Amino acid sequence: MKIHKEGYKIISTTLVICVTTIVVINLIFPAQTYFHSAMYLSIAIVIGVVVRFFRIPNRSLQSDSNIILCPADGTIVAIEEVMEQEFFNEMRLQVSVFMSPNNVHVNLYPVSGKIIYTNYSPGSFLVAWHPKSSAENERNTVVIQKDANNSVMVRQIAGALARRIVCYAKSGERITQGCELGFIKFGSRVDLLLPLSSKVLVTLEQKVKGGQTAIARFL
């Protein structure tokens, strides 16, 4: 397991605050009590939670040009046909993955191809499983053209806790399935907008893993 680079600053800041707290408390109250033990335990838990949030587990990524891979760890919360009006202006098949604070928060490219569109939109911070979060929350949109007939939209959506979406995609570059697209900090959602002809391979409430679970197949 590795720690994601987006976590270095937050983890370092957390460690400094925690160590400073311990030093100050011990200077003021040097005699060790149950309070000190509870403080040490609480601080250890806080550090563990923060470090765990930025973890990158060691995984063997699946790769298949006919498969749309899951871009994130989480739970499938929506499978529906929607009118996509930001780029395609047509009906698309939407598959949404809710990422809880306990999930790995790295986002991956679901297909290989060329990035033909990127756009950041400021917005609200509704809970990520809310149906309106796709259109109203802070979000970052990326469209990947796999080939002349198939393009996939990936939409990173901030949740009630998330306050920063990190996206490494650049319009015009060619990317590889399973490579890192970005990161969303502290609870979020990722939507996939697929061609209507795609065959969905997941079900509602299914637990999925980024880079390993096949979301759908191109037909």
Would strands 90-99 and 188-194 be described as parallel, antiparallel, or unpaired?
antiparallel
- Closest CA relative to residue 91, chosen from 194, 218, 189: 194
pTM: 0.85
pLDDT at 2: 86
Q: Catalytic residues, which ones?
A: 188
d(Cα 87, Cα 38) in Å, to the nearest integer?
A: 53
pLDDT at 60: 79
pLDDT, tens digit, 9 for 90 and up, residues 82-128: 999 999 999 999 999 998 888 888 999 999 999 999 999 886 555 55
pLDDT, tens digit, 9 for 90 and up, residues 161-207: 556 788 999 999 999 999 999 988 766 889 999 999 999 999 999 99
Predicted confidence band of residue 155 (pLDDT cuts 50, 70, 90): very high
The answer to whether residue 156 scores a pLDDT higher than 70 is yes
User: What sign does the dihedral 68-73-79-82 (CA atoms) show?
Assistant: negative
Q: What is the CATH number of domain 67-217?
A: 2.70.70
d(Cα 53, Cα 101) in Å, to the nearest integer?
A: 7
pLDDT at 163: 60
pLDDT at 127: 56
Enumerate the domain spans of the chain: 2-56, 67-217
pLDDT, tens digit, 9 for 90 and up, residues 9-38: 989 999 999 999 999 999 999 999 999 999
